[in-house]
């Protein structure tokens, strides 16, 4: 009989009583390679920028994950997941006066520097920069459809105008608008089959997003006919499967934008129960919407049925092949 440490750990023995099957330490390891379990696949159909360990903006190649850092403290923030966005400005590194055609949708202007951008035409505003990198000045506004004139004076660097109600990572441009594709991180095929448990499971992660009010998915389970956004991170937490929707509202603790918070969901299909804890709060339970559904794919940083991309950072993610009790998930999510 083989009593090796690896055997005992992989078979859920005494050294792994909670059945930990997936351990992704994005911030600590700065890699997709799992400490335990399958390594996710990652795609993005374009290059993209992130803040490196030196605090400077740098470029990631097509299909390369971005392990972002705080530009001031240099702390590792983990895996950056963003939706697709387009920077419609040209010559973004050193912005000059230009006219852009816009639609009547929310737009966000952002830049570094102490110069001024005066908006006229489709929208009227004056935006004065508050400092050089890493101080980013932003303005979210909804113009009328038509031509938006940006009159630039002074230092306006790494400028971006994108459709959306919040700024995303910098998209460099030269003579034309540039699209940054969405980040897609997933576990599929035999890796998912070996990982997923139909008798009970628990997901635990530590995440941050600058979006305090919108619903954005941390992860989704998907199948041919079924989609489950089982962990949604915002003012409330949801569990939704296809046409079924169960909702949990956590009144406390309140989540702070751009501050990392631990979140856990435990699912026990046998007991028809799901429980969720946020930031060490008492777990809240509800009926299990996932019972009887079939899944073959795990999307990380993505909600499909009820929410879009997470648009934030995932410091770590763990998956257990057991429905951990409420007392345990409260302990696991404590600050």
| pLDDT tens, position by position, 290-328 | 555 678 889 898 866 555 678 899 999 999 999 999 999
Does the structure show a pLDDT above 70 at 230? no
User: Across residues 216-245, what is the average pLDDT?
Assistant: 56
Q: Lowest-confidence range among 25-29, 78-82, 225-229? A: 225-229
pLDDT band at 1 (very low <50, low <70, confident <90, very high): very low
Q: For residues 216 and 83, give the distance between their C-alpha atoms in angstroms, rounded to a whole number.
A: 11
Residue 189 neighbours by CB under 8 Å, 6+ apart: 296
pLDDT tens profile 44-79: 999 999 999 999 999 999 999 999 999 999 999 999
pLDDT tens profile 96-125: 999 999 999 999 999 999 999 999 999 999
pLDDT band at 26 (very low <50, low <70, confident <90, very high): very high
Please tell me the predicted confidence (pLDDT) of residue 289: 58
Tokens of 210: 């600058």
In this structure, what are the phi and psi dihedrals at residue 211, rounded to the nearest 5 degrees? -110, 95
| All CATH 2.60.120.200 domain ranges in the chain, comma separated | 15-43+184-332
Q: What is the DSSP-derived secondary structure letter of residue 200?
A: -
Alpha-carbon distances, residue 33 vs 207, 316, 321 (angstroms): 18, 12, 19
Is 320 within 8 Å of 268 (Cβ atoms)?
A: no
Q: What angle do CA 101, 119, 163 make, to 5 degrees?
A: 50
pLDDT band at 145 (very low <50, low <70, confident <90, very high): very high
Please tell me the predicted confidence (pLDDT) of residue 213: 53
Is 76 within 8 Å of 28 (Cβ atoms)?
A: yes
Is 82 within 8 Å of 216 (Cβ atoms)?
A: no
Other residues' Cβ atoms within 10 Å of the Cβ of residue 229: 26
Does the structure show a pLDDT above 50 at 11? no
Please tell me the predicted confidence (pLDDT) of residue 255: 67
Q: Is cis: bond before 270, omega within 30 of 0?
A: no
Fold of 15-43+184-332: Jelly Rolls (2.60.120)
Please tell me the predicted confidence (pLDDT) of residue 302: 80
pLDDT band at 173 (very low <50, low <70, confident <90, very high): very high
Please tell me the predicted confidence (pLDDT) of residue 5: 42
Please tell me the predicted confidence (pLDDT) of residue 261: 87
Tokens of 204: 């635990």
Q: For residues 137 and 92, give the distance between their C-alpha atoms in angstroms, rounded to a whole number.
A: 14
Torsion of CA 44, 167, 135, 148, to 10 degrees: 120
pLDDT band at 237 (very low <50, low <70, confident <90, very high): very low
Q: For residues 292 and 104, give the distance between their C-alpha atoms in angstroms, rounded to a whole number.
A: 43
pLDDT band at 3 (very low <50, low <70, confident <90, very high): very low
Fold of 85-180: Jelly Rolls (2.60.120)
Please tell me the predicted confidence (pLDDT) of residue 10: 45
Q: For residues 160 and 170, give the distance between their C-alpha atoms in angstroms, rounded to a whole number.
A: 7
Closest C-alpha among 202, 200, 109, 115 to residue 149:
109
89 against 208, higher pLDDT: 89
* pTM, full prediction: 0.89
């Amino acid at each position: 009989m083989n009593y090796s440490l690896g055997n005992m750990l992989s078979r859920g023995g005494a050294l792994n009583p909670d059945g930990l099957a997936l351990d992704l330490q994005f911030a600590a390891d700065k890699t997709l390679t799992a400490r335990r379990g399958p390594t996710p696949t990652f795609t993005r159909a374009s290059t993209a920028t992130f803040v490196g360990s030196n605090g400077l903006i740098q470029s990631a190649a097509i299909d390369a994950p971005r392990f972002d850092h705080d530009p001031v403290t240099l702390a590792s923030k983990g895996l950056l997941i963003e939706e697709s966005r387009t920077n419609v400005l040209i010559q973004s590194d050193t912005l000059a006066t230009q006219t852009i055609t816009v639609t009547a949708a929310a737009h966000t202007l952002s830049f570094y520097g102490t110069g001024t951008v005066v908006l006229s035409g489709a929208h009227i505003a004056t935006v004065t920069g508050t400092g050089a990198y890493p101080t980013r000045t932003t303005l979210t506004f909804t113009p009328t459809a038509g031509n938006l004139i940006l009159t630039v004076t002074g230092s306006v660097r790494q400028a971006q105008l994108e459709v959306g109600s919040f700024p995303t990572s910098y998209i460099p441009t030269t003579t034309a608008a540039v699209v940054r594709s969405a980040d897609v991180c997933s576990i599929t095929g035999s890796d998912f089959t070996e990982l997923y448990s139909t008798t009970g499971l628990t997901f635990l992660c530590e995440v941050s997003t600058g979006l305090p009010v919108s619903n954005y998915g941390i992860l989704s389970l998907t199948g041919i006919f079924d989609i489950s956004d089982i962990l949604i991170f915002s003012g409330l937490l949801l569990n939704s499967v296809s046409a079924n929707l169960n909702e949990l509202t956590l009144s406390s603790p309140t989540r702070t934008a751009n501050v990392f918070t631990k979140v856990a969901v435990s699912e026990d299909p046998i007991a028809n129960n799901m429980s969720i804890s946020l930031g060490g709060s008492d777990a809240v339970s509800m009926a299990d919407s996932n019972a009887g559904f079939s899944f073959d794919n795990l999307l990380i940083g993505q909600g499909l049925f009820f929410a879009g991309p997470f648009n934030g950072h995932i410091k770590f993610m763990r998956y257990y092949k057991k429905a951990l009790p409420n007392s345990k998930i409260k302990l696991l999510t404590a600050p």
